[in-house]
């Protein structure tokens, strides 16, 4: 028997290995195997099994690492597609996608059962070690004790002869007391056995449950454990423990309690369309466009309920972990906890592994999670929901750069499933798909119970200069509105997309700017820590009292971060209870929930935060939302800057007035006339779409073209410059060749806006064309033969980030 193995190394090849006889029963597609690779042993993934091979030099695998496969054949088809599309070797893609870290050796537990005469010395040693501990020991410890690396094969031999027993034992479960005693009926012995009444009753009760019961099921028996132990002695039953799979802690409810509601007519129509797609059995994509608070989540939940009722499964993607506590609370009101699996980057590897297996085994029927959940090994998948589909966190920028939103559509297409992309501010691409492609357009135009949309005020910050010509962080209008809100005992959210105190620190005498040593960016001053920190790497220094250049003591800074904003607000409103939510204040586990919980209970009057506060939260007493600077995103060097700004402003505006009182939004900007801001003011999505799509068409930007970005980086400044130039020449040569002439254009090479990050210099080369196939073929040819010393080339398909 031979297997095809994908190994996480930077090569597109997969490898053939032979499977020795003792492992044959264990091999299955989707399991991990330990294989010899050169002089090393590496973990690989079984992606195919066959009888024979033409290769003469195949080596044996060392061992099988999983007891259950991690994915099915269907899943593999999807993984292969993703790996190929995003230029990632399959082995690397699998190691990115699949839960890692836990292998069977650390779980295997062996105990001695008996002895024999004809044993090797090693086998005798094993039995002796096991015999010293009556309850046996984990394989790992046994291997350490005997100083041997791989005892598994030996143990299997002993197991076959009935001399030892082996079982997989989970490490300490995260949740205590979740292990349950179970009892299994053994075969009835030939000899009659004498039983007490209680023993007879207990046997009958287990029999009535198909020969398997939990102790908790035997409530009719008095003191069942004693009775069952007696039965076990008589060889009639076996007592064991179930393995309760570890789950992430169930978060408490935040915000409003979820009560089942009657759908309004628009929700009914939307749901009806989605259900039609689900029952059609063919690929059915749709966009659910509804303002925040219009009841989209309610529609998703109904669609999921229907999917499960049909015996099929669903994946529900949400952008960020900050969003999930509220949602999980809501879902667990509607579905049994055992049917929900949760996957996101905030859960530890052990929990992730268990959640994964719960999905793979088909026990979980709904998978909720952040972008990586799109890879969950869900069989019989009929519905994929992508909530807030426009959100940039669906795109992963590092390692395998994929878009979970795009992959959701691909996976639905492969499986003939329904996919619902939902948003208040759909991405331009998705909207365009509803006009030009087969995407259905569903819309919820009203807020639930006809709550009003907030009033949006735009403040021109050019008119807010003080006597020295400096722009104050807070306009008169915003200060006045905060005051009013506090008087009315309501809550405010203040949004600013920069953390820290001052974002620019420099010497007033020689103009020396404090910069990161690893990155081409200035350092941000964090006052409470007395530190200057880089936001692109972990570089940080104590804020020096003197200029390191000239020794001057006039250290100045400007640029507003959330920390400074919170301080300003404290000065203006000393009575108010103020909290800050950004990645500085939420680095510990559970801190999101703590802050949002306090907001929900009315313990915070003003919450200052970065984009973390713009998403998904539903707090009825927030009536004022202030956008401190709309210009941060508007001025990004990115063709999507206007789209991002419109989305962000509309989302953050949607946080206001979700209760009974209408909300107010104040947007501060130096560009009050910009269409992204004006269209936000009038809640005019269609208008924004028309403005933006016309521009994109003129400039042939997506969705009128596709792009692939190549990032050349390395630690040597000159090497990278030279490498980029070399790649540029090669790119031009191939582009003018017969295959590609006129089908695509190459922009660059140019230095990246972030010219250096973490000590690596960065250049990029952008390829643009109408047909993604041609682009793909082109980039493959460009990268595959390219030999550029001292540089790494990273390929980013459908890039979202041009920094």
537 binds, among ligand ADP, Zn ion, none (CB under 5 to 8 A by kind): Zn ion
When binding is defined by CB under 6 A, the residue of 165, 212, 250, 264 that contacts ligand ADP is 264
Selected range binding ligand ADP among 156-164, 293-301, 427-435, 472-480, rule: CB under 6 A: 293-301
Quick one: what does residue 294 bind among ligand ADP, Zn ion, none, with the CB cut-off 5 to 8 Å set by partner type? ligand ADP
Under 8 Å between Cβ of 739 and 793: no
For the bound state, the minimum distance from the C-beta of residue 644 to ligand ADP, rounded and expressed in Å, comes to 20
Give the total residue count for the chain.
803
CB of 599 to Zn ion, least distance (A): 32
- Minimum separation from the CB atom of position 542 to Zn ion (A): 16
| Position 261 contacts ligand ADP (CB under 6 A) | yes
Q: Are 501 and 524 in contact (CB under 8 A)?
A: yes
Q: Is 225 in the site for ligand ADP (CB under 6 A)?
A: no
Q: Indicate which single residue of 431, 456, 474, 534 sits in contact with Zn ion (rule: CB under 5 A).
A: 534
The one segment of 289-297, 529-537, 737-745, 753-761 that binds ligand ADP by CB under 6 A: 289-297
Of positions 80, 140, 256, 512, contacts ligand ADP by CB under 6 A: 256
481 closest CA partner among 496, 466, 492, 497: 492
Closest C-alpha among 492, 468, 634, 458 to residue 558:
468
Binds 651: which of ligand ADP, Zn ion, none (CB < 5-8 Å by kind): none
**Which one of 296-304, 462-470, 586-594, 777-785 is the stretch in contact with ligand ADP (CB under 6 A)?**
296-304
Q: Does 614 bind ligand ADP (CB under 6 A)?
A: no
**In angstroms, rounded to a whole number, what is the distance separating the alpha carbons of residues 20 and 776?**
40
Q: CB-wise, 270 or 630, nearer to ligand ADP? A: 270
Q: What is the x/- site pattern for ligand ADP, positions 416-455, by CB under 6 A?
A: --------------------------------xx------
519 is a contact residue toward Zn ion (CB under 5 A) = yes
Q: Look up residue 403 and give its DSSP letter.
A: B
Q: How far is CA 284 from CA 81, 180, 373, in A?
A: 20, 42, 20
CB 688 within 8 A of CB 646: yes
Q: CA 34, CA 109: separation in Å to the nearest integer? A: 19
CA distances from 568 to 418, 477, 484 (A): 49, 15, 17
- β-partners of residue 709 are 766, 796
* 541 touches Zn ion (CB under 5 A): no
293 touches ligand ADP (CB under 6 A): yes
CB 110 within 8 A of CB 139: yes
Type and span of the H or E element at 652: helix 641-653
By CB under 6 A, residue 290 contacts ligand ADP: yes
Closer by beta carbon to ligand ADP, 177 or else 260: 260
d(CA 383, CA 307): 7
Instruction: Find which of Zn ion, ligand ADP, none residue 536 binds, CB within 5 to 8 Å per kind.
Output: Zn ion
Task: Examine residue 527 and tell whether it contacts ligand ADP (CB under 6 A).
Answer: no
Cβ nearer to ligand ADP, comparing 290 with 609: 290
Dihedral angle computed from the Cα positions of residues 231, 235, 236 and 241, in that order, rounded to the nearest 10 degrees: 70
**Residue 514 binding Zn ion, by CB under 5 A:** no
Under the binding rule (CB under 6 A), the answer on residue 267 touching ligand ADP is yes
The answer to whether 701 touches 691, Cβ cutoff 8 Å, is no
* The only residue of 244, 518, 540, 705 in contact with Zn ion, by rule CB under 5 A: 518
Contact of residue 519 among Zn ion, ligand ADP, none (CB under 5-8 Å per partner type):
Zn ion
Q: How far is CA 472 from CA 463, 495, 560, 563, 630, in A?
A: 10, 16, 10, 16, 15
- Tell me how far apart the alpha carbons of residues 646 and 641 are, in angstroms, rounded to a whole number: 9
Verify binding: residue 253, ligand ADP, rule CB under 6 A. no
For ligand ADP, which residue of 23, 95, 284, 292 counts as binding (CB under 6 A)? 292
158 near Zn ion, rule: CB under 5 A: no
Residue 353 makes CB contacts below 8 A (sequence gap 6+) with 99, 101, 102
DSSP code string of 292-354: TTSSHHHHHHHHHHHHHHTT-EEEEE-S-GGGHHHHHHHHHHHS-GGGEEEE-TTS-HHHHHH
How many other C-beta atoms are found inside a 10 Å radius of the C-beta of residue 768?
18
- β partners of residue 796: 709
Stretch that binds Zn ion, among 270-278, 411-419, 492-500, 535-543 (CB under 5 A): 535-543
Size of the site for ligand ADP (CB under 6 A): 18
Give the Cα separation of 134 and 127 in Å (integer). 11
Query: Toward ligand ADP, which CB reaches closer, 30 or 295?
Result: 295
Q: Is 537 in the site for Zn ion (CB under 5 A)?
A: yes
- State the nearest-atom distance from the C-beta of 632 to ligand ADP, in Å: 25
Stretch of 37-45, 290-298, 511-519, 762-770 lying at the interface with Zn ion (CB under 5 A): 511-519
In whole angstroms, give the CA distance from residue 40 to residue 105: 18
SS3 579: strand
Residue 532 binds Zn ion (CB under 5 A): no
Residue 539 contact partner, candidates Zn ion, ligand ADP, none, CB within 5 to 8 A by sort of partner: Zn ion
Instruction: Give the residue with the Cβ less far from Zn ion, 583 or 736.
Output: 583
Question: Which span sits near ligand ADP by CB under 6 A: 75-83, 255-263, 457-465, 708-716?
Answer: 255-263
Contact residues for Zn ion (CB under 5 A)? 516, 518-519, 534, 536-537, 539
Summarize as ranges the residues that interact with ligand ADP (CB under 6 A).
256, 258, 261-264, 267, 290, 292-298, 448-449, 618
């Amino acid at each position: 028997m031979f297997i095809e193995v994908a190994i996480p190394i930077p090569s597109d090849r997969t490898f053939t290995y032979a499977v020795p006889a003792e492992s044959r029963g264990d091999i299955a597609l989707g399991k991990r195997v330990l294989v010899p690779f050169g002089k090393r042993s590496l973990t690989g993934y079984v992606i195919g099994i066959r009888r024979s091979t033409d290769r003469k030099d195949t080596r044996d695998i060392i061992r099988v690492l999983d007891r259950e496969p991690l994915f099915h054949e269907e899943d593999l088809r999807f993984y292969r597609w993703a790996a190929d599309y995003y230029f990632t070797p399959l082995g690397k893609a699998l190691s990115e996608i699949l839960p890692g870290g836990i292998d069977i050796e650390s779980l295997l537990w062996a105990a001695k059962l008996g002895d024999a005469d004809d044993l090797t010395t090693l086998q005798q040693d094993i039995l002796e070690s096991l015999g010293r501990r009556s309850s046996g020991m984990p394989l790992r410890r046994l291997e350490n004790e005997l100083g041997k690396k791989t005892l598994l094969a030996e143990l299997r031999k002993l197991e076959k002869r009935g001399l030892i027993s082996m079982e997989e034992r989970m490490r300490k479960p995260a949740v205590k007391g979740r292990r349950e005693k179970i009892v299994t009926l053994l075969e009835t012995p030939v000899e009659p056995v004498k039983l007490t009444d209680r023993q007879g009753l207990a046997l009958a009760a287990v029999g009535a449950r198909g020969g398997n019961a939990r102790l908790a099921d035997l409530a009719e028996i008095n003191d069942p454990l004693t009775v069952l132990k007696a039965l076990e002695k008589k060889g009639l039953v076996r007592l064991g423990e179930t393995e309760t799979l570890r789950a992430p802690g169930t978060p408490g409810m935040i915000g409003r309690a979820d009560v089942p509601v009657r759908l309004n007519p628009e929700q009914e129509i939307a749901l009806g369309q989605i259900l039609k797609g689900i029952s059609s059995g063919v690929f059915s994509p749709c966009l659910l466009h509804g303002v925040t608070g219009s009841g989209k989540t309610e529609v998703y939940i109904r669609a999921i309920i229907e999917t499960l009722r049909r015996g099929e499964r669903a994946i529900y993607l949400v952008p960020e972990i900050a969003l999930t506590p509220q949602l999980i609370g809501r879902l667990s009101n509607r579905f049994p906890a055992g049917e929900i699996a949760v996957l996101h980057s905030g859960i530890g590897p052990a929990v992730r592994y268990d959640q994964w297996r719960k999905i793979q085994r088909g026990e979980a029927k709904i998978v909720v999670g952040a972008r990586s959940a799109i890879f969950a090994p869900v069989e019989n998948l009929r519905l994929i929901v992508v909530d807030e589909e426009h959100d940039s966190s669906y795109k992963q920028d590092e390692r395998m750069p994929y878009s979970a939103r795009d992959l959701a559509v691909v996976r639905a297409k492969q499986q003939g499933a329904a996919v619902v992309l939902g948003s208040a501010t759909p991405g331009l691409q998705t909207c365009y798909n509803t006009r030009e492609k087969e995407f259905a357009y569903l819309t919820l135009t009203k807020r639930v119970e006809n709550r009003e949309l907030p009033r949006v005020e735009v403040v021109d910050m050019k008119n807010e200069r003080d006597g020295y010509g400096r722009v104050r962080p807070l306009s008169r209008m915003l200060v006045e509105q905060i005051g009013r809100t506090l008087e009315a005992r309501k809550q405010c959210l203040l949004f600013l997309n920069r953390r820290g105190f001052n974002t620019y620190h420099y010497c007033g005498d020689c103009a020396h700017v404090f910069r990161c040593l690893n990155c081409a960016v200035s350092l941000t001053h964090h006052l409470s820590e007395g530190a200057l920190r880089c936001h692109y790497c972990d570089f940080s220094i104590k804020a020096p009292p003197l200029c390191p250049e000239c020794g001057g003591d006039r250290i100045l800074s400007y640029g507003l971060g959330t920390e400074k904003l919170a301080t300003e607000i404290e000065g203006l409103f000393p009575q108010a209870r103020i909290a800050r939510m950004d990645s500085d204040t939420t680095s510990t586990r559970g801190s999101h929930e703590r802050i949002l919980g306090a907001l929900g209970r009315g313990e915070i009057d003003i919450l200052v935060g970065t984009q973390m506060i713009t998403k998904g939260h539903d707090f009825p007493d927030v009536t004022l939302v202030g956008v401190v600077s709309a210009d941060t995103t508007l001025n990004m060097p990115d063709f999507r800057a206007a789209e991002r700004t419109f989305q962000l402003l509309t989302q953050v505006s949607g946080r206001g007035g979700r209760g009974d009182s209408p909300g107010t939004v104040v947007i501060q900007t130096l560009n009050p006339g910009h269409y992204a801001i004006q269209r936000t003011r009038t809640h005019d999505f269609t208008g924004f779409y028309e403005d933006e799509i016309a521009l994109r068409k003129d400039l042939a930007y997506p969705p009128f073209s596709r792009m692939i970005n190549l990032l050349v980086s390395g630690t040597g400044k000159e090497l990278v410059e030279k490498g980029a130039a070399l790649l540029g020449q090669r790119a031009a040569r191939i582009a003018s060749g017969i295959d590609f002439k006129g089908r695509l254009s190459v922009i660059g090479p140019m230095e990246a806006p972030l010219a250096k990050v973490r000590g690596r210099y960065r250049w990029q080369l952008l390829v643009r064309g109408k047909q993604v196939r041609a682009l793909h073929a082109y980039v493959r040819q460009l990268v595959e033969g390219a030999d550029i010393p001292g540089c790494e080339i990273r390929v980013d398909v459908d890039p979202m980030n041009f920094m």
